[in-house]
Chains A and B, each alone.
Chain A
């Protein structure tokens, strides 16, 4: 018996987003919309200077603020190591949940205070006295790599070590030889600023102790399982004692993956036996929370007069800020993409993960790769201008094709760059020559 196929009611039709109705009526519940009886408020005490030894922390004035409940320092944290990369096997674990003897960026948390009201918590945090011995600080990636630069890390160098090297490296062909054969050497220096995600909802959570000894954590993290695991490790408690509830994120963009507030809020919930609300202010979100790393990218290309790029050297300094977070991983992604979607026979790439006394950078929308795209496409336009070649043509001639080997020795499959550029030209009303319009990802017609 043949069954009559029913018409699709999902595929091929526009679907109503389940959650959007609540967004437009104001019914969607975000972290700050939750309230629990006896809920207390947590605020961080942060370093006002970029680099210092922490000699002492004095809570005596803070304790006098009406509504003060208590505080947490590193001594209260069972495993005071911020472990975000351990879970994916990348070391070192160098960042503390709460600073011990050193602070390395303006805003680094040294303690947290808890109070009955948020205003009392603000006041108490402002009255904690810090005894700091300031140290010289470094803010520039190339300065940080000099011999005499202040040392940011605890292991003594201002760079992350990649398998014994001081940078992530890709070597393909012989760029020195190719540069000599090139007709033109074209160089550029490309500098990005750190970019803040600035979600309209700030980072935050509420940790609520339950009667059965577990803690329920309501959080706006983008990485709920990550956050649960990290909290369990930092608090040295079994994961089955934690219940994380979330998924409603008022803008993340990679800025809510750093598991920043949950461990301390959970610790506070257990210590003070109160629901603890720990929500970033707009100032903390802007100045303390992680950003996209500011990359300084040097590109030197050897180019023939007819616009073939035969050599590309890229040296990038990624500013990790004071601690690793996701940057060592971002550097690897950057290295893989730093030559661009172009087939270049000789490539040399060095990408440094550099530590400076700036707020740590971390994940943000395609981190590592987006920065490479920016620099490469600026460089392609520079080449086009200097050689007086049409920028569309330059890209089409150098675009990678199926079967081409990438600098990291994978064979290109499913390339569609040529077709994408052709489609873009059509949409932009740019007339390409017949030769360029005939190009394809599947052959090397018109390439060399």
Chain B
């Protein structure tokens, strides 16, 4: 069993404890760590818990500030942004959503991370506490590192700015609930007049982490979003993907579904999205 479990009373205390013991592990909701502890994989290590560090809660101030320890269930109950709530409802089952946290969902690799494509489409940022203080980093930048948050750092909040354009969220999975995503796509466009001024296309569950389809986004900007533009964007997006094989789906199937679901998400986003 673990050596000890310390519930930090502030995020600063958690960061200090982690910095002091390089072998220590941070725990949020515990949904992925507890199974490891039960199987004797964390024997002898210290676990630093965030459950009492005051990191839970959603505040609305222009955009949204979602504390990292907020249960996914609370995001699922939001009315705005609708696509984020919809993505949250895809996480696990009803009971688990009360225990899984937003922070955990954002930081974990496939098959977790259903919130990430929508957060990418919304230009979300991460608020991170480290020894140097608090910093903000765009989620898309953070995801380029593995892990996205550095050793000894704590993810304290996810910041969702108030952006223009509604997000379209399309998800492929075997079952409606309690089933890992095979493909999850979030798309958003902002027009100036008839032309697309800004486009976001995020694809999750296909690769280890969700990705922004940069080439596809560029292909859309300046166009009217007609059939040719959509075809070009779909081709650019899927061409850049390296789908993985796992128990939920083969790489081949993922690739085929990615094409279909990217097209659906773009089409819906161009027609006004869902929010």
Contact = CB atoms under 8 A, between A and B. Distances in A.
- On whether A and B touch (CB less than 8 Å), the answer reads yes
Interface of A: 118-123, 126, 281
B40 interface: yes
A118 B39 CA distance: 8
A329 B41 CA distance: 41
Given A119-B40, A122-B40, A126-B40, 13 more contacts: A118-B40, A119-B1, A119-B38, A119-B39, A119-B43, A120-B40, A121-B40, A122-B39, A122-B41, A123-B40, A123-B43, A126-B41, A281-B39
13 contacts: A118-B40, A119-B1, A119-B38, A119-B39, A119-B40, A119-B43, A122-B39, A122-B40, A122-B41, A123-B40, A123-B43, A126-B40, A281-B39
A159 to B, nearest CB: 28
Listed from nearest, the 10 A-B pairs whose CB atoms lie closest are: A122-B40, A119-B40, A123-B40, A122-B39, A123-B43, A119-B1, A119-B43, A120-B40, A281-B39, A126-B40
Contacts of A122: 39-41
A179 to B, nearest CB: 35
Nearest to A119: B40
Contacts of B43: 119, 123
Contacts of A121: 40
Interface residues of B, number: 6
Contacts of B40: 118-123, 126
Contacts of B41: 122, 126
Contacts of B38: 119
Contacts of B39: 119, 122, 281
A291 to B, nearest CB: 14
Interface string B12-38: 000000000000000000000000001
A118 B41 CA distance: 12
Q: Is the interface of A mostly helix, strand, loop or mixed?
A: helix
Interface of B: 1, 38-41, 43
A118 B1 CA distance: 10
A186 to B, nearest CB: 28
Contacts of A118: 40
Contacts of B1: 119
A126 B43 CA distance: 12
A119 B38 CA distance: 7
A284 to B, nearest CB: 11
A272 to B, nearest CB: 20
- Most-contacted residue by chain B among A118, A119, A120, A122 (CB, 10 A): A119
A121 B39 CA distance: 9
Nearest to A122: B40
A185 to B, nearest CB: 30
B180 to A, nearest CB: 15
Contacts of A281: 39
B174 to A, nearest CB: 13
A65 to B, nearest CB: 9
A120 B44 CA distance: 11
Candidate in B1, B40, B41 with the most chain A CB atoms within 10 angstroms: B40
A120 B38 CA distance: 11
Nearest to A117: B1
A313 to B, nearest CB: 30
Nearest to B39: A122
A241 to B, nearest CB: 34
Nearest to A118: B40
A120 B43 CA distance: 9
A123 B43 CA distance: 8
A121 B41 CA distance: 11
B271 to A, nearest CB: 37
B44 to A, nearest CB: 9
Nearest to A286: B247
A126 B42 CA distance: 12
Contacts of A119: 1, 38-40, 43
Contacts of A120: 40
Contacts of A126: 40-41
A44 to B, nearest CB: 14
Nearest to A281: B39
A116 B43 CA distance: 15
A123 B42 CA distance: 10
A121 to B, nearest CB: 8
A255 B40 CA distance: 27
A119 B41 CA distance: 8
A68 B4 CA distance: 21
B86 to A, nearest CB: 29
A126 B40 CA distance: 9
Nearest to A65: B43
Contacts of A123: 40, 43
A119 B43 CA distance: 8
Nearest to B1: A119
A227 B41 CA distance: 33
Nearest to B43: A123
A317 to B, nearest CB: 21
A126 B39 CA distance: 10
B211 to A, nearest CB: 30
A267 to B, nearest CB: 23
A123 B37 CA distance: 11
